Homo-oligomer: A and B are copies of this chain.
Amino acid sequence: MKGSEPAAKREGASGTPVAEVGPNPILQALAERLPLWKRPGYLVRRLHQIHYALFFEECAEFGITPVQYGLLTILSTNPDTDQISLANALGIDRTNVADVLARLEQRGFVARMRSRADRRMVLARLTPEGEELVGRMHPAMARAQTRLLESLDEDERERFVATILKLLEANNRYGRAPLGASKMDHT
């Protein structure tokens, strides 16, 4: 495999006669003081990717992504919701909601129609096929969630989730969703 040994060693001075020295010592010092694996944002990004991988592994047969299932979940408890409310509930951008809905609609899991009360709004709801999918897929989705934290003991798991929730509340104003909206109807 290629990934195990340091990459710089694979070529280094041998293949690049142009290069004179090693890395800039000032930058080297910066990177040593705050390397990638000490940057919380980097760690969170990696964990996010792992969740994606686990989700795909468990839910491959359905061809549904985490975001898509999140949207389907909200629609399963809140039929006929407009796109901006969906964006707030899910914590993603409104244009992204429209994209995801379009794909789900094309596959027959979601139906959209203009509201008659306010003709600016487009309301989305699950089709019967969509409802069936949400129910059938739920165990696989739940397994992905469990597996993400299964290497922690019960105590650490609870603390971890509690800490993330605290961070989300503290940073409510960043990202796209006021956290309150995500409790729409799930309480």
Residues of A near any B CB (own CB < 8 A): 2-4, 6-8, 10-12, 14-16, 19, 22-24, 26-28, 30-32, 34-55, 57, 66-67, 70, 73-74, 76-82, 84-86, 88-92, 115-118, 121, 123, 125-126, 131, 134-135, 138, 141-142, 144-145, 148-149, 151-152, 156, 159-161, 163-168, 170-171, 174-187
Say how many copies of this protein the assembly contains.
2
The DSSP consensus for interface residues of chain A is: helix
Whether B183 pairs with A22 at a CB distance below 8 angstroms is no
Question: Taking A6-B185, A80-B19, A148-B40 as contacts, is the C-beta distance between A50 and B12 under 8 angstroms?
Answer: no
Q: Of all chain B residues, which has the CB nearest A78? A: B8
Asked whether B149 lies within 8 Å of A7 as measured between CB atoms, the reply is no
Question: In chain B, what residue has the closest Cβ to A87?
Answer: B3
Q: Separation in Å of the A55 CB from the closest CB of chain B?
A: 6
